[in-house]
Structure 1
């Protein structure tokens, strides 16, 4: 990781950030000072959604300020695949083993409710962001992995603890024909959505600025926060444009959290992922993808595909090309750098290779970029009051699943901030709470999972090493 762990200055442009927005570098004033009721560090989905819910439920009009180190919404929200995909079945078996059936079921229902919650937000606020409800199609490419996953699914279904009514299964006899994916062994499908994530967040931020006089400052990195409150109950926030005081602080900092809160080192780790934008020549007819996809090659090796209304495809993943090289992706914030030549090459002819009917599409990779996610040591986000720091709150560490967590998580956190309720009263899954126990634990399931693939020598087909090891671990 960089010496500081703070965001680097000029990240590679993504498909979402290449189009300028009026709020890109918006600042309410050139210098920053004054007192605020609530300061939110980070203007991605977590930060803006938290501000939205705070103002929605407040009986008064609190003074709110958002601080962003780079352009607004230029972090993970502006660099992901634009996919709202709940984990309705795949990881549930693992969570049931770790947390028990009751909490695993609560988590599954929480994720499943996000799609329609985002739909309601987009429609109620009139946000122009290419939002579409669809089906997510998980396609299994490895026969053993397909059989193991189906067996786990049947066990969940028969237990009676989990709501799987929305999940549909298709076996090998028709998986390839229905999915259009060459060599498909089986598939599961369920309700999901896709959108232009940065347009949604910046559209919401624009409404907060215009309707609620929210202050927002881009290109204003926070250097540090005072170690204690002053006699009037204010924390001091030190930024590149001046200092401000706030009664309450929200860290919506995801992979950058430990730079400001060192107690979250190893608990929220910056992890890079890679994503691409695939297009076809104008006038070239390419098959329409009505669904979003995940192609699961075994274990933790999978790609995700999100169709765009213009016929292009956003494809992310390529883990087979870099997981073995820890320094490329783990504990690094360098989203200003490409992942590797192997990752870039991975997406060439991707649609022609994997999808029926795309052989003559002339689909080609237009852009490849990286993004920084916040992976937690136990795979659960940290939400709630920062332990031993009254008046400071955190909503971070979504382990690549922020689009399926953030909206309702921020709504619950806002109740803690405005109404003063305890975490237990929010009805969030218990394992999301940021606690002393989680911060003091020396264990890291994240590091344990990937330790077997690090520092392996690269071969032409790195997946030959990676896939069997990760299959064994998962």
Structure 2
């Protein structure tokens, strides 16, 4: 079968990220059977963290009901070689930033629910890793958000004040602490130049190892894994659905789409709903100044460094390898550098070229630690070891799509995480797996199961017809680039015109 070259699939010869230096060599190109099965109960498309956790949760749901199912996982490339292998491994929830914006769109109660949902992910990861004895360098710590501009600091403070006023118990339960004094902020974090900050519980892990471990456990339960087998077409058939691949077709009762940036390759109606957005990250060896026994010594927190709209960097000082912190490699993972390329849309928007370094990011990363971390004494290259690109799946309304796809009974989606998947994936996959397992058992979603799904997931995440047909696209405006029509309409065209005129006068 000849494959359509226009399909949105991973490019060959992608840059090698830090997380793939310890591949599971047996899983990398694994095919459980020589031929792909002709029939099954569930096909999960995508082997990243979403696909792996979805598969795991489906098995858990079915076992709770004392049911079995034939599950097949299709992967277009190597196992877990896309976004999960190219992110920061950072489980850092939003705890107050953005609260006012979400409250204005959805109301205060739902805005609070969105933040509480993310905060719950850390415990879900910790429980899973502990109960299943998964070696993935899981470490629970605290994160610091640090604002570098007066405007950003003022906005963050207003978000803090608004959520604290409306939901003080939630803020206290989440252990969110603000730091108003700049000197105290630098003393606590080791970051210089910050104006305001706040900290809260967060964590980090080796995402590839977590996903690969879950896939292995699912294979032990009977799952059939087929790598280098892209799903190229999905159509209704007497069995329910038929999935075309270059190696033959699979007839299945239900499908889980866990393809994030590549979703429109199998669901064309998502071409304007989930777009590939290119990002960049690197790994850094700690300098002597930031190693054990030195001053200032090892960094203690993870970081979100906020410089402006769309320009947020993240940095994770890893605490070693294995189950005992402090042993082995303790590289930092630094990502972002969006200021280098945001103004050039072609470099990041609707771009899947993670086989290329993005312009300017290496130089940005090489100068980063000395610029922002006090007393850093790294080498002339900033101790940068690897630089890589990754393709994120940005949703048009900036929130993930989770649930049954409209007009496609038995097809479920969990995708569009907009570069913020780590604190969303555990809860989203748990929710969608309730629907999948119910459909496998009953060939339908009962009102009871639908209620359970809705109770477990914030309403703005629900996959609805309204979201699918919406013309809204907020991606560029969220990155500080261009003003989307909906944003213009929301604040009034006259106000927008006045702003544009003022900007032109200021040039």
TM-score, structure 1 normalization: 0.91
Q: Which stretches in structure 2 are left out of the alignment for 5+ residues?
A: 321-328, 439-444, 484-498
What is residue 214 of structure 1 aligned with on the other side? 223
Could you report, residue by residue, the CA deviation over 1:159-207 in whole angstroms, capped at 9, with x for unpaired residues?
2377111110001341111111111211110011000000011011111
1:401 pairs with one of 412, 420, 432: 420
2:366 pairs with one of 318, 335, 348: 348
Matched residue count? 451
Give the CA RMSD over aligned residues. Answer: 2.1
Higher helix share: 2
Could you report, residue by residue, the CA deviation over 1:97-125 in whole angstroms, capped at 9, with x for unpaired residues?
11111111111111110000110000111
Give 1:238 shift: 1.1
CA contact (8 A) 1:293 1:305 kept: yes
**Whole-Å Cα distance in 2 between the matches of residues 207 and 281 of structure 1?**
38
SS of equivalent to 1:347: helix
2:332 pairs with one of 313, 319, 322: 313
**Whole-Å Cα distance in 2 between the matches of residues 356 and 81 of structure 1?**
22
CA contact (8 A) 2:189 2:300 kept: no
What is residue 156 of structure 1 aligned with on the other side? 163
Residues 20, 240 of structure 1: CA spacing in aligned structure 2 closer, same or farther, 3 A cutoff? same
Give 1:442 shift: 1.2
The answer to whether residue 247 in structure 2 is matched with residue 241 in structure 1 is: yes
SS of equivalent to 2:390: strand
SS of equivalent to 1:163: helix
SS of equivalent to 2:217: helix
Moved more, 371-380 or 306-315: 306-315
Give 1:417 shift: 1.4
Give 1:153 shift: 1.1
SS of equivalent to 1:314: strand
**Whole-Å Cα distance in 1 between the matches of residues 395 and 23 of structure 2?**
32
CA contact (8 A) 2:32 2:224 kept: yes
**Whole-Å Cα distance in 1 between the matches of residues 105 and 306 of structure 2?**
23
SS of equivalent to 2:27: coil
CA contact (8 A) 1:105 1:161 kept: no
**Whole-Å Cα distance in 1 between the matches of residues 225 and 278 of structure 2?**
27
1:358 pairs with one of 352, 365, 376: 376
What is residue 204 of structure 1 aligned with on the other side? 214
**Whole-Å Cα distance in 1 between the matches of residues 57 and 478 of structure 2?**
36
1:4 pairs with one of 4, 7, 18: 7
Could you report, residue by residue, the CA deviation over 1:63-93 in whole angstroms, capped at 9, with x for unpaired residues?
0010000111111111100000111111222
1:323 pairs with one of 339, 342, 349: 342
**Whole-Å Cα distance in 1 between the matches of residues 196 and 379 of structure 2?**
25
Q: Which stretches in structure 1 are left out of the alignment for 5+ residues?
A: 455-467
1:85 pairs with one of 46, 69, 92: 92
**Whole-Å Cα distance in 1 between the matches of residues 285 and 480 of structure 2?**
36
SS of equivalent to 1:290: coil
What is residue 430 of structure 1 aligned with on the other side? 459
Following TM superposition, the consecutive aligned residue runs of length 4 or more in structure 1 with deviations greater than 6 angstroms are 281-284
SS of equivalent to 2:406: coil
**Whole-Å Cα distance in 2 between the matches of residues 256 and 100 of structure 1?**
32
**Whole-Å Cα distance in 2 between the matches of residues 346 and 151 of structure 1?**
30
The answer to whether residue 228 in structure 2 is matched with residue 224 in structure 1 is: no
SS of equivalent to 1:178: helix
**Whole-Å Cα distance in 1 between the matches of residues 289 and 187 of structure 2?**
26
Give 1:283 shift: 11
What is residue 325 of structure 2 aligned with on the other side? none
